[in-house]
Structure formats: C-alpha cells, structure tokens
Chain A
Amino acid sequence: MSADATTALKGKFPQVTDRASADHPAVDVPPADLVAALQYLRDECAFDMLMDISGVDWAEGASPRFTVVYHLFSTKRHEYFRVATPCTGSDAEPVAPSVVSLWPGANWHEREAYDMFGIKFAGHPDLRRILMWDGYPYHPLRKEFPLAGLEAPLPGPDVEEETGTRLISAPMAGGPFVASPGEMNLTEAEPRAKDQSWNERNVKPE
C-alpha cells in the first residue's frame, strides 16, 4: 500500500519527509536522493508509471524558488504517489536531476518544465524547448511573466522582416477572463473580464 511505500522510502532514505497533500501520499525528497528514491519506488514499490512532471514557482524571494513534482502511478495497485524535490542552482537557472534514465517518457515532461520554468534537468539527453520555439527569450509560467506576454521577435526573422510583425503584449481589456462559480444560468456564468472599467478604447485607470 502507499502508506507502506512512504514508510519503506523513509526507512531507505532518512532525508525524506512527509509533504502536505489533500489526496494522494506525497513526500519531499532532497535532490541528491531523488533519482535513487524514484528508482526505489519504481522497482520495489511498484510505482512503475511516471504520469507527469510539473514545476512550481514559489515567486521571487522564496528559497528555494522552484520545486519539481513527480507524479507516479502504480499500474498494479492503481494508486498514485507524489514526489517533490526543491531545485538547486540559482533563481535564474534552477537545476534538478533528470529521470530520463528511469522513464524514457520523462524526456518530454522535462523539456516542458524547462520550457515553461527554465528548470535545467542535469543529465537530460536533449534539453530543448518543446512548446515555445528555440530562441524565445522568456519562460512563460514564471511568476514575474505577465499573462499577456512580452514583446519579442517572431520565430522567423524573414517573416518578421516581410510583415513587420513582432510578438506583442496581448490586449487584455479588463482581463483575465474568469468564469463565475456557483449555480446560475449559463449566460451569467460566461467568463467575464474581472475589471470591465477599461478595454481597448478606455485606458486602464491608474
């Protein structure tokens, strides 16, 4: 069982601590033990499938600023398990160990986390951006990056020259748009701008 997995993991790796979780068992693992701990979970505790790798940005000032979360699944017992590890390295270039050696499927997950958060996975065979293009200057899911985006060159310099189009900060017009919770008719529940006092015509009040 998962509780047994937590206990067994703690026995094997004394640095492992419990992590607050609303649903599935979760642990914090120091980066040095991460690959060994995940291998132990995979081989000894039957968590044989890596569902997802996600990143967390705790915003500037937090230390460590970035955390990587590994979501494991056992296809034998149908249980989930969550492993989190803080990133080492600087705030600008956080580093986490790569687990491509354990699950080849981690390759693209880690590329995505690198693309969105700029987390460098040490030992990754091919760490390139996966959603944005090579040469895009930002990591869009970091806290300081605005939803509307920042100005940047187009991926194709020839097309940029021909059309004069660059990446712009998207017009938000009172957004972001949020749906209202609760029971109401569908028209009222439509996503609306949070602040409708400004739009493309009326400038945002200071």
Chain B
Amino acid sequence: MVTANTTFSYDSKIEGEVVVTKLDAAINWIRTNSMWPMPMGLACCAIELMQVGSPRFDIARFGAEVMRFSPRQSDCMIVAGTVTYKMAPQVRRIYDQMCAPKWVIAMGACASSGGMYRSYATLQGVDRILPVDVYISGCPPRPEAILDALMKLQAKVKKERSGKNLFTA
C-alpha cells in the first residue's frame, strides 16, 4: 500500500530507541502469538487436529504450529476426542505437568459434553476434570473451527491481567 502518511510507524528520530507499552500488552502479545499446543489426541478429532497443522489451514499463521508432545513445553492443551474414565486421570496428570500459564480447548462434542457416548465408560465432558477455556462444537469440528477457537482463546488471553498475575502468582 502506498501512503504518504508514515507518522504512525515507529520513528527512532522522534521516539528514540525506546518503545513504550503496557506490561500486560507486551506479555499478552508474546503469549498469544506463541501458544504451543499440547495435542491430547484421543479419538477421531485428532485427525482434524492434524489437518489444521497442514499447509491448507496452516495453524502456523497464529503461532501455534509447534505441537509439543511434552506437557512441560506447551501452553495450551487441545483435548481432541472422547475422554474415557480410564484415560481421565492421565489427562489430568498431563495437565498438571504443564507450566503455568496454561489453557485448555475442549475440541468436539465428546470432549465438551461426552457427545453421543452416554455410557458407563465415558467422562461426560472434560470440564469435569479440567478448567476449559474454549469449547468447539462439531463431530468432529472443521479445521476452521479449531482456528476460530484458537483466535477466541487469543482474544481471551489478550484481556488477561498478566503483569499483575506475574507478581501475585
């Protein structure tokens, strides 16, 4: 884009070698754009989760392409699939091993509510064991829905009082 007005951009001659911002904004900017997912792939939703990492949908545009299979290196657990009662304690333990700050996306009907599995074996919603930030509907959700959930989570994180929490936590 060609424009004569360049005063909105950073000008070192006027402002010096310093950028002024709010601590919350700086921290949240960093966090939202490097939200590394912990892919908790438990069922068919995990296939769609793989798709969202592919070039066609390209979750890398949002800085979340680094699927970490170690909970200690990840920020955002995406629970993709049916959580059985047998698996539930393991999911919770993996969540406990993630470093704060951490977020959870419940992907699909099963993770959100148990879905069609109204049965003795299935946890009726992963929010019974984890604090879920964003729910995605669908069975399974389209990859676009996962990107949408990620953007919603980013919007949520941008509103956090991260600077304050840094010193109180």
Cα-based distance from A155 to B121 in the complex (angstroms): 12
Interface flag for A159 (CB, 8 Å): yes
Tell me the minimal C-beta distance from B24 to chain A in angstroms.
Answer: 30
Cα-based distance from A176 to B119 in the complex (angstroms): 10
Interface flag for B32 (CB, 8 Å): no
Tell me the minimal C-beta distance from B129 to chain A in angstroms.
Answer: 5
Which A residues between 175 and 206 are near B, CB-CB below 8 angstroms? 175-177, 191
Given A159-B93, A170-B114, A154-B88 contact (CB < 8 Å) = yes
Residues of B within 8 A of A145 (CB): 120
A: contact size bracket:
20 to 34
Judging by beta carbons under 8 Å apart, are B85 and A170 in contact? no
Within the complex, which residue of A147, A154, A170 is in contact with B89, where a contact is CB–CB below 8 Å?
A154
Tell me the minimal C-beta distance from B111 to chain A in angstroms.
Answer: 15
Within the complex, which residue of B88, B116, B119, B120 is in contact with A159, where a contact is CB–CB below 8 Å?
B88
Tell me the minimal C-beta distance from B110 to chain A in angstroms.
Answer: 12
Residue of B nearest to A168 (CB): B124
Within the complex, which residue of A158, A170, A175 is in contact with B120, where a contact is CB–CB below 8 Å?
A170
B: contact size bracket:
10 to 19
Interface flag for A32 (CB, 8 Å): no
Which B residues between 88 and 122 are near A, CB-CB below 8 angstroms? 88-90, 92-93, 114, 116-122
Within the complex, which residue of A146, A155, A175, A176 is in contact with B85, where a contact is CB–CB below 8 Å?
A155
Given A163-B128, A165-B128, A148-B89 contact (CB < 8 Å) = no
Judging by beta carbons under 8 Å apart, are B86 and A148 in contact? no
Judging by beta carbons under 8 Å apart, are B118 and A156 in contact? no
Tell me the minimal C-beta distance from A44 to chain B in angstroms.
Answer: 41
Residues of A within 8 A of B93 (CB): 156, 159
Judging by beta carbons under 8 Å apart, are A165 and B118 in contact? no
